[in-house]
Structure 1
């Protein structure tokens, strides 16, 4: 089984598990069959133009907007299949192999175990709690059953969220189990380095397709520039473009990977943009409310102010060193 660790920015990473071969219809469990049926129904609703007032298409439009807001970390964990008794025994007997693919120039190998461990553990409690609350809230949607024609949408949304949290939980447990058995083998991928570098070198997918493949020297230089932009790890810098998701998916013949990457890139970009806007707003507010040229920082007591000044000096020294190297 192959796992992909795909850095979206220098601080945030998406995990994606390569899909196993689809089961034959006769081998699917009741849950699998229900999932396939729900997916088919959703696709049909997206195309339905004949429902009264077009309610089916409107539901899928608003529903897709809600799905976009589900954290990319949850979507990533959901790609990892549940740990079945058969697979668990194969792992314990040493018959199962797991390979972790990642762009070595944009994600240092020594960080891989730490990232995997964090992904396996940090969201478990949250998914468990939200799973419970989704189930508890289901009976309170009963009054919506009285609405004619339209099904009980709040109930089905809660069912979906409960299923989604359960899937993320099973993915976390599977990941944690293989980490306990030291199974994931880190595998730096030049193919990923190449596609990441092209995404940073070229402005569009079309130009990236037409341009020559980046050389190893070019890739190393681009990675060095990205590292400099982080200011010693203080800044979060984007390393993956939204349009590049399709190229990565094509490189490994994994079409489902494209939407996962695009969703993750969009969420991380929005998060960084919101953070930058908040900092800018705070600076503007401070300037507007400053008295006689004094800022909020000037009002701090010496015991708080001195450590801050020392930290600022260290940051300035690092910035000067970076500037000298450039």
Structure 2
């Protein structure tokens, strides 16, 4: 099984699991059949222009906007298949092989296990809780069935969110099971991903990137070094993946479903970084507007904290004087030197 760990920024990464194969019609479970039917219905609604008031297209439009708000971490965990008893046995016996593919220049290999372990465990409680609440909410949406023509959308939304949280939960449990059994995915730094990431940072558009030559290893190392400098020793979160670059990466690995996952993740991370920057700017402007002339941030601290600071400064000053006094040559030492 191939896992892709794709850094969106220097602090956030998308996990994507490659589908092993499409199940044959005879092998599909009821859940598989329902999922396929729901996807086909949704796609048909997106193109239907004959419905009264064009309600189907409106539902899919606003529905897609709501889907964009689902965290990309949840979407990533949903790509990992549920852990069946058969697969558990194969993992324990060492017959199931896992590898994680990542751009080695933009994500240090020693960080990969910690990132995977964090993705496997940090959201389990949240998915479990929201799964329960989605199920609890289903009976309360039943009265909407009485509305003619339009299907019970609130009920179907609760069903979908319950299914989504269940998929993410089982995906995270699958990943956690690997760590509990010391079956760590084999790290596989990809030069192809290094080239794709570098092209995305060097060129402004997908069209230019397609026409331009593939970046050399030296260029890739130089761009990665510049990105590392922009983080200010890890204190700043810097974007390393462009939205338009998702299609090129998906094409390179022949994984068309990956494109949507990358574009969604990039958009969410960009909005998060932008919101944080705007918040810091507003805070700085507020402090600047409320500060008195000549007043510093230190002056606005409570009196008791200022007293502690003064005492600490006094101790440091006295200690510095003692050290300076001890370092001076004594009179007898001066005579010897003479």
Query: Is TM more than 0.5 here?
Result: yes
Contact 1:72 1:263 in 2 (8 A): yes
CA contact (8 A) 1:80 1:174 kept: yes
Q: Provide the rounded CA distance (Å) in 2 between the counterparts of 1:253 and 1:297.
A: 57
Alpha-carbon distance in structure 2 between the residues aligned to 1:36 and 1:202: 38
TM alignment of 1:83-102, pairs within 5 A:
83-102=83-102
Give the unaligned 5+ runs of structure 1. 310-326
Cα displacement (A) at 1:179 = 2.0
Q: Tell me the equivalent position of 2:248.
A: 247
Aligned residue among 302, 305, 311 for 2:306: 302
Residue 293 (structure 1) shift: 3.6
Match of 1:52 in 2: 52
Deviation of the 1:84 alpha carbon: 1.0
Query: Aligned pairs, how many?
Result: 307
Q: Do structure 1's residue 160 and structure 2's residue 160 form an aligned pair?
A: yes
SS at match of 2:14: strand
Residues in 1 aligned to 2:107 and 2:222: alpha-carbon distance in whole angstroms = 15
Aligned residue in 2 for 1:319: none
Q: Please provide the CA RMSD for this pair.
A: 1.4
- Asked whether 1:291 is paired with 2:285, we answer no
Asked which structure has the greater CA Rg, the reply is 2
Aligned match of 2:233: 232
What residue is the counterpart of 2:189 in the other structure? 188
**Cα drift, residue 144 of structure 1:** 1.2
SS in 2 for 1:187: strand
- The answer to whether the Cα contact below 8 Å between 1:131 and 1:162 also exists between their aligned partners in 2 is yes
Spell out, residue by residue over 1:196-241, the C-alpha distance to the aligned partner (whole angstroms, 9 max, x if none): 0010011111111111111111111100000000000000000000
Note the 1:202-221 alignment, pairs <5 A.
202-221=203-222
Q: Distance in 2 between matches of 1:109 and 1:175?
A: 18
Which range moved further: 112-121 or 138-147? 138-147
> 1:183 Cα deviation (Å)?
3.3
Instruction: Note the alpha carbon deviations across 1:229-274, whole angstroms, 9 max, x for none.
Output: 0000000000000000001001100000000000000000000000
Distance 1:303 1:163, change over 3 A: farther
SS at 2:95's partner residue? coil
Q: Do the aligned partners of residues 17 and 50 (structure 1) sit closer, same or farther apart at CA in structure 2, a change above 3 Å counting? A: same
Look up the SS of the partner of 1:70 in the other structure.
Answer: coil
Which runs of 5 or more structure 2 residues have no equivalent in the other structure? 314-338
The answer as to whether partners of 1:198 and 1:208 remain within 8 angstroms in 2 is yes
TM-score of the aligned structures, taking structure 2 as reference length: 0.89
Instruction: Find the aligned partners of 1:3 and 1:303 in 2 and give their Cα distance.
Output: 55
**Aligned with 1:141: secondary structure?**
helix
Residue 79 of structure 1: aligned partner: 79
Aligned-partner Cα distance in 1 for 2:128–2:111: 27
2:40 corresponding residue in structure 1: 40
